[in-house]
């Protein structure tokens, strides 16, 4: 089995490729806004997936048996680990409320284990499954807020802002009607006279125009 390794610096390239595929699937022009592509395909960003993968692995790693090699690597320099500091920055940015409990248990290192902060200030121990659910919810909420904020700064999406969250729309079935609907909703239709004449001369396009006039 071949394995391709991607680092954090190549996430932008992956985003460009995903947006290109979304434009092909929706038959959208190159100037179609990215938020519209994401919104109607329901795809998350590679950055969101990257953050989720790292933060979900953190509680799993801290509850792993000390005999595991990955666990030993963590304990070599747990206080000054760049990876650990990156996890903390990601958690703060994603509003994942955690406390770092520096303690030692007999026969096992449990330094810098994460605990959930509850309202009264006490730390609540969660298992890996509970942490994964919380991280998934928090990171998704962070990306959703950024998606909405980006739409507010783009005038072409004034009709599109009513959509609550990115979600695949079933009416995009590679038909001409679906193409027109997406372009109209995101205001990226090509309305030049030359393009209109060449499009209207097509027999299929004429039938769609007649249907639209009857609505």
- Residues 6 or more apart in contact with residue 88 via CB below 8 angstroms: 100
Tokens in use for 53? 């993968």
Distance CA 207, CA 84 (A): 60
Domain residues for 153?
1-169
- Residues 6 or more apart in contact with residue 161 via CB below 8 angstroms: 148, 151, 152
Q: Could you tell me if residue 178 is inside a domain?
A: no
pLDDT in tens, 140-192: 999 999 999 998 888 888 888 888 888 887 777 777 777 777 888 788 776 65
Q: 3-class SS at 99?
A: strand
What whole-number percentage of the chain has pLDDT above 70? 70
Q: Could you tell me if residue 127 is inside a domain?
A: yes
Q: Could you tell me if residue 158 is inside a domain?
A: yes
Q: Could you tell me if residue 38 is inside a domain?
A: yes
pLDDT in tens, 31-52: 888 898 888 888 899 989 999 9
Q: How confident is the model at residue 82 (pLDDT cuts 50, 70, 90)?
A: confident
Distance set, CA 102 to CA 61, 74, 86, 92, 140 (Å): 15, 14, 18, 18, 29
Give the total number of structural domains in the chain: 1
Residue 50 φ/ψ region, left for φ over 0, alpha for ψ in the -120 to 50 degree band, beta for the rest: alpha
Please answer whether residues 136 and 59 qualify as being in contact, where contact means their C-beta atoms are separated by less than 8 angstroms: no
* Structure-model confidence comparison of residues 45 and 213, the more confident one: 45
Q: How confident is the model at residue 105 (pLDDT cuts 50, 70, 90)?
A: very low
Q: Could you tell me if residue 203 is inside a domain?
A: no
Tokens in use for 102? 């520096």
Distance CA 117, CA 104 (A): 20
């Amino acid at each position: 089995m071949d394995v391709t390794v991607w680092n954090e610096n190549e996430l932008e390239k992956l985003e460009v490729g995903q947006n290109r595929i979304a434009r092909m699937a929706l038959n959208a022009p190159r100037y179609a806004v990215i938020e519209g592509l994401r919104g109607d395909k329901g795809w998350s960003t590679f950055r969101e997936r990257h953050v989720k993968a790292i933060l979900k692995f953190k509680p799993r790693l801290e509850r792993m048996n000390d005999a595991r090699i990955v666990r030993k690597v963590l304990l070599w320099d747990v206080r000054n680990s760049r990876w650990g500091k990156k996890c903390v920055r990601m958690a703060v940015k994603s509003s994942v409320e955690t406390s770092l409990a520096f303690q030692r248990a007999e026969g096992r290192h449990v330094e810098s284990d994460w605990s959930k902060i509850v309202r009264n200030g006490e730390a609540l121990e969660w298992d890996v499954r509970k942490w994964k659910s919380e991280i998934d919810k928090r990171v998704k909420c962070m990306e959703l807020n950024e998606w909405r904020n980006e739409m507010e700064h783009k005038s072409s999406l004034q009709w599109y802002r009513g959509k609550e969250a990115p979600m695949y729309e079933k009416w995009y079935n590679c038909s001409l009607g679906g193409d027109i609907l997406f372009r109209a909703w995101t205001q990226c239709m090509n309305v030049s006279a030359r393009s209109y004449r060449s499009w209207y001369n097509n027999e299929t396009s004429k039938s769609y125009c007649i249907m639209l006039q009857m609505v």
